[in-house]
């Protein structure tokens, strides 16, 4: 998206004279630095009022692989288990232990690579990355520095303009590579007793590091790209990608520069663990860098952390200076060889090989494909399809309702997105926890469709249904006498009764 | 021989074990063992005895006393690597090779001495002190070595074992066990085997599991086998070789143990004599022995050809770069957190690391870590590490070409000379000595090839001298068959140890020096 900023700026400067150039103006603190492109608004400019800033954002995302056991050992993978209860001899790096690659982790990485349009390397290698840290027992991490398992992919994501769902743009960020690597353990620092406690349960869990090219330009884009990646991973099942549990962690590389000039010095904001914070952290960092530079300061190539309470990024203290990781090939693991249908040796044991084509054929529909299908099949708007996929199980819920009612899918979508979803959000419920099943909602919509109740009445019934008392919509309608009248004579009688009761008004009206 | 005796009941496993244990005590001055596992050994011997009584021994190795170099993990017995860093460390698991030996009924007597973390070629640089070569106390050596002056203490003439598996070689040589495990990264099994007059086999890389061997250089380490004869080495190899799911670098196929034929006709053999092994510093004595051995083959009808391995001279420097780089990496885990020595220094995590590693490692280990890290620095990586790897490939290709030309096995010296007296040896530092002593052996590690030291003759000083055969990848059977034929021809003399005996049984083993 740096490109987009650049284009906007170039357009602005090239068109002199009558054409209205985007007004460069001051860029007040608090306004999202990112806002410009997507909202078509101002390009931030320096105090000189001439040179605008172009933010460049690249992400590195660590996704924990959803697998029973760790990347190179047989210990279980489980969140929130008692400390150090899931540690094999290898995980604790006992001398003489050797890594044994977990097939499931390789398959997960291949799936993810294919889903992100990567080319899968038929031969990839493992390397050791050295640094001393208490929660890295071996003194090195096994990763894929030289030849990763997947390279050169792309991820399309969409974001809305002006915060309205009605205008969405689709963008693409290039994926540089996906590499398999080990997670580290966790250190707990007890400052008062100046102790560090180490939990190795996470040490050695398989990670996929997805490295994106610096194609993004603002927090919103970063957030949208990560959200899409998260949905893809969850669809594939290659990672549960729950950010709150650390299964998806984002590092953002941020720099700003003037168009036509080389990239600025970048900072890395590490370990961002929520999508909302990601947007905030990136925008804050862009803004901070611009202000720093405008005030004549310089940007240090440093690692920073996002303080969610203060809403700002702060330098991290433990990483001083540049580290030399002294990369070296991992000598205990032979090259990882993958096959496709063509290269698969005939006499190979299937347990021993991984066939890329086989995995490709079995990929589930990705979110983008699912959305297209929903739009095509039900005639709903693209933004509706986004909303449906944004909640786990919502699309299935919607489809189930559609199947059980003659109401047009286009009408059903309003009930699902406006009524059901807003209720669930208000009460922080997941779709699965909804007190109203797809069956009940379909039942209700059927009454509406058959014109037995009005849509106002339907909302009343729905309000009753939320209580989850086990009544059917029809029962509620009868109880509260909400049905519409179908009998012409009865309706006439009611009208007559009303007229009779209001003799004076009737006379007044007749007299004009 | 012993195996047959056990089967026939002429000797029981317990008797055998007790004899070995008492001999270990009598030869304590050799410093071959770091830990003696008397209690567990006797228990294992009893269990073995039960099996023999029931007529159900587990195989040839059942009841055979063995020793294991102290860099293989053993449950219940300390694994120290002869380092302060691991003093008192008891591993929670057995190395695959140890487990395999125990599963076949072998009796584990103890853990043998070595250079700290196997870094050395003398078995002189461990925290438990140097290992003394049993031949220092042989009648053969004493008769031939004339003290230069009478003032010189006779005791101080003892010679080194070579290393780093010197404890294992000394243990086998002094009859305290029938077979021992060593490790071989640059010659650490073959070098002491040559100096101690025993058979030392370095199998093909990937044939035997390294799981549980505390690594020196992962890409070159192999468990080594030390025995008194080639047949024994074949038996032990058969019990250890094959795929191990815990070591991804082992071969996928299962290994079929073999018995060695007694070769009578060598006329179909082609023996290569690599001219580059005529290295600077090679003693005239060994050169003569080498030629004599070549003649032996030629006279028996074998084809003996001079061959060239042109990149040999670059091998030792490349070995040094690759070795130290992997050492730097492998030693990173010793930070005092999870296991091993931890310094009392507690000002910060970093100062604790630094103090732990300073206190835990000797100068040799620290020196190799330092140079290894230097070679791995981003700015040096291409210049040193990558270059050394490329040369390593050239060295391996040299061997491939020679074997493709029709050569079956290569015949070379194992060492430049016979064993040096300790006093002489320590005049040079570990690095210089390693460069000298690994010169003829490390190329086989660089290329991953199988190689074996066969004790050949006694030097003028009455010390053992061995020759090395290098075979094709995974062609251990052919290599050992040739070695066996050669062993039979040279009739290497039995060591005549002069040890004060507290136990008159001690030398009964001379009659049953081998077990197969």
Please give the average per-residue pLDDT across A467-475, as a whole number.
Answer: 86
Contact A132 B332 (CB under 8 A): yes
Measured between beta carbons, which residues in chain B are less than 8 angstroms from residue A92? 338-339
Q: What is the pLDDT of residue A468?
A: 81
Q: How confident is the model at residue A502 (pLDDT cuts 50, 70, 90)?
A: confident
Q: Alpha-carbon distance B98 to B106, whole Å?
A: 9
Same domain membership, residue A318 and residue A214: yes
Quick one: pLDDT band at residue B148, thresholds 50, 70, 90? low
- The verdict on residue B352 lying in a domain is no
What tokens does B334 get? 């010793």
Task: Enter the tokens of residue B345.
Answer: 């220094």
Specify the pLDDT at position A320: 55
Do residues A290 and A161 both lie within one domain? Answer: yes
The reply to whether A273 and A140 lie within a common domain is: yes
Within 8 A of B328 by CB-CB distance, chain A residues are 326
B406/chain A closest Cα distance in angstroms: 29
Q: Which two tokens stand for residue B339?
A: 């296991």
Nearest CA in chain A to B217: A331
Chains A, B: CB pairs < 8 Å: 102
Cβ distance B91 to A334 less than 8 Å, yes or no, reads no
Is A170 found in the same domain as A105?
Answer: yes
CB < 8 Å to A101, chain B:
248
Ramachandran angles phi, psi of A189, nearest 5°:
-95, 125
- Interface probe for B, chosen from A96, A127, A189, A348 (most Cβ of B below 10 Å), is A96
User: Is A36 within a domain?
Assistant: no
Q: Measured between CB atoms, does A326 come within 8 Å of chain B? A: yes
Q: What is the pLDDT at residue A37?
A: 44
Q: Does A140 touch chain B (CB under 8 A)?
A: yes
How many domains would you assign to chain A? Answer: 2
Residue B216 contacts A, CB cutoff 8 Å: no
Least confident window among A59-73, B214-228, B426-440: B426-440
Note whether A203 and A304 are same-domain residues. Answer: yes
| CA Rg value for chain A | 29
Contact status of A100 with chain B (Cβ, < 8 Å): yes
A459 touches chain B (CB under 8 A): no
Least confidently predicted of A32-46, A406-420, B127-141, B479-493: A32-46
Query: How close B393 gets to chain A, by Cα (Å)?
Result: 15
Interchain contact B381–A (C-beta under 8 A):
yes
Residue B501 falls inside a structural domain: no
CATH number, position B439: 3.90.1300.10
- Percent of chain A's residues with pLDDT above 90: 64
H or E element that contains B410: strand B409-413
Distance CA B235, CA B480 (A): 11
Q: How many domains does chain B have?
A: 1
Is A496 within a domain? no
Q: Nearest CA of chain A to the CA of B341: how many Å?
A: 13
Contacts with A19 (C-beta within 8 Å, 6 or more apart), sequence order: none
- In eight-state DSSP terms, residue B253 is S
Find the mean pLDDT for residues A242-265.
Answer: 95
| Cβ contact B444:B411 at 8 Å | no
Q: What's the pLDDT at B1?
A: 66
Q: pLDDT digit string (tens) for A45-61? A: 445 555 789 999 999 99
Look at A133-137, A475-479, B54-58, B205-209 and tell me which has the smallest mean pLDDT. Answer: A475-479
Residue B498: pLDDT band by 50, 70, 90 thresholds? confident
| Partner B contacted by A345 (CB < 8 A) | no
SS3 B127: coil
Flag the least confident range among A160-164, A305-309, B375-379.
Answer: A160-164
Position A50 scores a pLDDT of 55
**pLDDT one-digit tens code per residue, A106-116:** 999 999 999 99
Say what the pLDDT of residue B186 is.
96
Domain extent for A462: 367-480
Segment A357-382 mean pLDDT = 94
Average pLDDT estimate for A303-324: 83
Judge if A300 and A389 occupy the same domain: no
B392 interfaces chain A, CB cutoff of 8 Å: no
Q: Do both A314 and A407 map to the same domain?
A: no
Residue B507 lies in a domain: no
Model confidence at B440: pLDDT above 50: yes
* Mean pLDDT for the stretch of residues A49-74: 92
d(CA A287, CA A277): 15
The answer to whether residue B274 scores a pLDDT higher than 70 is yes
- Mean pLDDT value of segment A341-352: 81
Q: Looking at residues A276-302, what average pLDDT do you find?
A: 94
Per the DSSP assignment, residues forming a β-bridge with A256 are A55
Q: Are strands A127-130 and A328-329 parallel, antiparallel or unpaired?
A: antiparallel
Is position B447 within any domain? yes
pLDDT at A16: 33
Strands (DSSP E) contained in B229-349 are 270-274, 303-307
Q: CB of A352 within 8 Å of any CB in chain B?
A: yes
Domain contains B197: yes
In which residue are the tokens 């926890």 written?
A: A433
Helix (H) / strand (E) containing A172: strand A168-182
> What local confidence, expressed as pLDDT, does residue B512 receive?
56
Q: Which of A179, A103, A105, A97 is nearest to A137 (CA)?
A: A97
What local confidence, expressed as pLDDT, does residue B152 receive?
53
Q: Is residue A292 part of a domain?
A: yes
**A211 and A322, same domain (yes or no):** yes
Question: CA–CA distance from A20 to each of A4, A27, A54 (Å)?
Answer: 18, 19, 21
Instruction: State the DSSP H helix or E strand holding residue A22, giving kind and residue range, or none if neither.
Output: none
Residue A355 lies inside a defined structural domain of this protein: no
> CA of B201 to nearest chain A CA: how many angstroms apart?
21
Q: How confident is the model at residue B506 (pLDDT cuts 50, 70, 90)?
A: very low
Residue A501 lies in a domain: no
Q: Residue A370 pLDDT more than 60?
A: yes
User: Measured between CB atoms, which of B93, B249, B328 is closest to A334?
Assistant: B249
Which residues of B are marked as active site? 69, 164, 188
Query: What is residue B182's predicted lDDT score, i.e. its pLDDT?
Result: 98
What residues of chain A lie within 8 A of the CB of B339, using their CB?
92, 94-95
CB A218 within 8 A of CB A33: yes
Distance, in angstroms, between B255 CA and closest chain A CA? 18
pLDDT tens digits, one per residue of A400-436: 999 999 999 999 999 999 999 989 999 999 999 999 9
pLDDT digits (tens, 9 = 90+) for A123-133: 999 999 999 99
Q: What ipTM is given for this predicted complex?
A: 0.93
Which B residues in the span 275-334 are in contact with A, Cβ-Cβ below 8 Å? 325-326, 328-329, 331-334
For chain A, percent of residues with pLDDT exceeding 70:
88
Q: Give the domain extent around B8.
A: 1-141+159-314+388-490
CA distances from A415 to A389, A418, A439, A451, A501 (A): 16, 6, 13, 16, 38
Is A420 inside any structural domain? yes
Same domain, A377 and A272: no
Instruction: For residue B349, tell me if it sits in a domain.
Output: no
Chain B touched by A132 (CB under 8 Å): yes
B348 within some domain: no
Whether the pLDDT of residue A34 is over 50: the answer is no
DSSP string, A467-505: T--S--HHHHHHHHT-BPP--HHHHHHHHHHHHHHTHHH
The pLDDT tens digits of the residues spanning B156-191 come to 789 999 989 999 999 999 999 999 999 999 999 999
pLDDT band at A17 (very low <50, low <70, confident <90, very high): very low
Residues 66-85 (B) with a CB less than 8 A from some CB of A: 72-73, 79, 81
For residue A179, being part of any structural domain is answered with yes
Residue of A nearest to B347 (CA): A194
**How far apart, in whole angstroms, are the C-alpha atoms of residue A138 and residue A135?**
9
- CA-based nearest distance A133→chain B, Å: 9
- Whether B96 is covered by a domain: the verdict is yes
For residue B249, the chain A residues in CB contact (below 8 A) are 98, 331-334
For residue B144, CA distances in Å to A191, B173, B196, B463 come to 69, 19, 17, 9
Confidence tier at A15 by pLDDT (50, 70, 90): very low
Average pLDDT over residues B219-232: 97
Chain B nearest-CA residue for A187: B349
* Residues A397, A258 share a domain: no
Helix (H, G, I), strand (E, B) or coil at B344: coil
Average pLDDT, rounded, for chain B: 93
């Amino acid at each position: 998206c740096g490109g987009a900023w650049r284009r906007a700026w170039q357009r602005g400067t090239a068109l002199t004279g009558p054409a209205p150039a985007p007004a460069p103006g001051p860029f007040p603190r608090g306004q999202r630095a990112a806002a410009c492109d997507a909202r078509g608004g101002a390009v931030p400019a320096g105090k000189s009022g001439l040179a605008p800033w172009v933010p460049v954002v690249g992400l590195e995302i660590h996704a924990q692989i959803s697998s029973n056991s760790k990347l190179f050992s047989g210990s279980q993978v489980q969140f929130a288990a008692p400390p150090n209860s899931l540690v094999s001899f290898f995980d604790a790096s006992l001398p003489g232990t050797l890594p044994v690659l977990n097939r499931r982790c390789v398959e997960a990485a291949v799936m993810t690579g294919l889903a992100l349009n990567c080319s899968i390397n038929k031969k990839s290698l493992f390397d050791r990355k050295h640094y001393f840290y208490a929660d890295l027992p071996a003194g090195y991490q096994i990763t894929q520095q030289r030849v990763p398992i997947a390279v050169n992919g792309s991820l399309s994501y969409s974001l809305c303009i002006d915060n309205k769902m009605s205008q969405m743009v689709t963008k693409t960020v290039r994926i540089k590579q996906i590499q398999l690597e080990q997670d580290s353990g966790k250190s707990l620092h007890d400052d008062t007793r100046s102790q560090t406690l180490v939990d190795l349960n996470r040490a050695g869990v398989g990670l996929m590091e997805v490295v994106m090219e610096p194609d993004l330009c603002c927090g919103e884009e970063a957030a949208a790209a990560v959200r899409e990646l998260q949905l893809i991973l969850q669809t594939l099942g290659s990672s549960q990608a729950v950010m709150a549990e650390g299964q998806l962690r984002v590092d953002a590389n941020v720099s700003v520069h003037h168009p036509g000039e080389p990239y600025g010095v970048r900072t890395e904001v590490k370990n961002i663990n929520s999508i909302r914070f990601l947007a905030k952290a990136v925008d804050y960092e862009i803004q901070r860098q611009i202000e720093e530079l405008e005030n004549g300061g310089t940007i240090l190539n440093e690692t920073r952390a996002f303080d969610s309470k203060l809403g700002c990024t702060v330098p991290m203290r433990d990483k001083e200076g540049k580290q030399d990781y002294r990369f070296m090939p991992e000598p205990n693991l032979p090259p990882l060889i993958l096959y496709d249908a063509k290269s698969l040796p005939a006499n190979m044991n299937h347990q021993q090989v991984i066939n890329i084509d086989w995995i490709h054929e079995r990929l589930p529909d990705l979110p983008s494909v699912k959305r297209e299908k929903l739009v095509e099949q039900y005639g709903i708007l693209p933004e509706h399809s986004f909303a449906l996929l944004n909640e786990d199980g919502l699309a299935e819920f919607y489809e189930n309702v559609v199947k059980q009612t003659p109401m047009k899918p286009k009408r059903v979508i309003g009930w699902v997105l406006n009524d059901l979803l807003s209720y669930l959000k208000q009460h922080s419920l997941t779709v699965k926890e909804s007190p109203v099943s797809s069956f009940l909602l379909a039942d209700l919509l059927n009454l509406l469709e058959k014109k037995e109740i009005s849509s106002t009445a339907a909302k009343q019934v729905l309000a009753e249904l939320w209580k989850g008392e086990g009544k059917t919509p029809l029962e509620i309608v009868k109880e509260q006498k909400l049905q519409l009248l179908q009998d012409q004579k009865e309706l006439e009688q009611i009208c007559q009764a009303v007229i009779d009761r209001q003799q004076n008004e009737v006379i007044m009206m007749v007299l004009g | 021989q012993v195996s047959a005796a056990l089967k026939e009941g002429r000797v029981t496993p317990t008797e055998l074990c007790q004899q070995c244990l008492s001999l270990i005590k009598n030869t304590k001055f050799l410093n071959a063992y770091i830990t003696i596992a008397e209690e567990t050994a006797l228990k294992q011997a009893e269990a073995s005895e039960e099996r023999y009584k029931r007529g159900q021994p587990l195989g040839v190795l059942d009841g055979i006393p063995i020793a294991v170099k102290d860099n293989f993990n053993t449950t219940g017995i300390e694994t120290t690597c002869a380092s302060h860093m691991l003093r008192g460390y008891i591993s929670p698991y057995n190395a695959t090779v140890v487990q395999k030996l125990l599963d076949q009924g072998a009796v584990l007597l103890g853990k043998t001495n070595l250079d700290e973390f196997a870094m050395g070629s003398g078995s002189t640089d461990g925290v438990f002190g140097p290992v003394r070569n049993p031949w220092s106390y042989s009648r053969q050596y004493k008769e031939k070595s004339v003290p230069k002056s009478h003032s010189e203490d006779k005791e101080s003439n003892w010679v080194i074992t070579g290393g780093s598996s010197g404890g294992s070689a000394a243990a086998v040589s002094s009859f305290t066990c029938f077979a021992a495990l060593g490790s071989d990264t640059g010659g650490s099994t073959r070098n002491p085997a040559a100096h101690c007059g025993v058979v030392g086999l370095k199998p093909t890389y990937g044939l035997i599991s390294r799981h549980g061997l505390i690594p020196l250089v992962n890409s070159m380490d192999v468990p080594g086998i030390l025995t008194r004869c080639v047949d024994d080495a074949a038996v032990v190899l058969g019990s250890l070789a094959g795929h191990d799911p815990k070591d991804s670098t082992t071969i996928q196929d299962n290994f079929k143990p073999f018995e060695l034929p007694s070769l009578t006709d060598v006329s179909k053999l082609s023996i290569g004599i690599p001219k580059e092994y005529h290295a600077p510093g090679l003693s005239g004595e060994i050169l003569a022995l080498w030629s004599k051995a070549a003649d032996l083959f030629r006279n028996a009808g074998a084809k003996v050809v001079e061959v060239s391995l042109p990149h040999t001279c670059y091998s030792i420097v490349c070995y040094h770069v690759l070795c130290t780089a992997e050492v730097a990496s492998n030693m990173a885990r010793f930070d005092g957190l999870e296991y091993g020595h931890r310094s009392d220094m507690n000002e910060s995590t970093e100062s604790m690391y630094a103090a732990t590693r300073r206190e835990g490692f000797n100068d040799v280990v620290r020196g190799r870590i330092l140079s290894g890290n230097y070679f791995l620095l981003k700015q040096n990586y291409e210049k040193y590490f990558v270059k050394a790897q490329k040369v390593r490939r050239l060295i391996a290709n040299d061997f491939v070409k020679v074997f493709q030309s029709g050569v079956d096995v290569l015949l070379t010296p194992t060492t430049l000379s016979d064993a040096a007296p300790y006093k002489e040896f320590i005049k040079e530092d570990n690095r210089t000595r390693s460069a000298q002593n690994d010169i003829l052996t490390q190329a086989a590690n660089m290329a991953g090839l199988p190689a074996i030291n066969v004790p050949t003759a006694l030097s003028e000083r009455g010390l053992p001298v061995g020759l090395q055969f290098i075979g094709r990848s995974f062609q251990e059977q052919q290599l050992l068959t040739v070695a066996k034929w050669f062993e039979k021809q040279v009739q290497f003399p039995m060591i005549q140890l002069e040890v004060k005996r507290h136990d008159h049984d001690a030398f009964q083993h001379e009659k049953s020096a081998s077990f197969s």
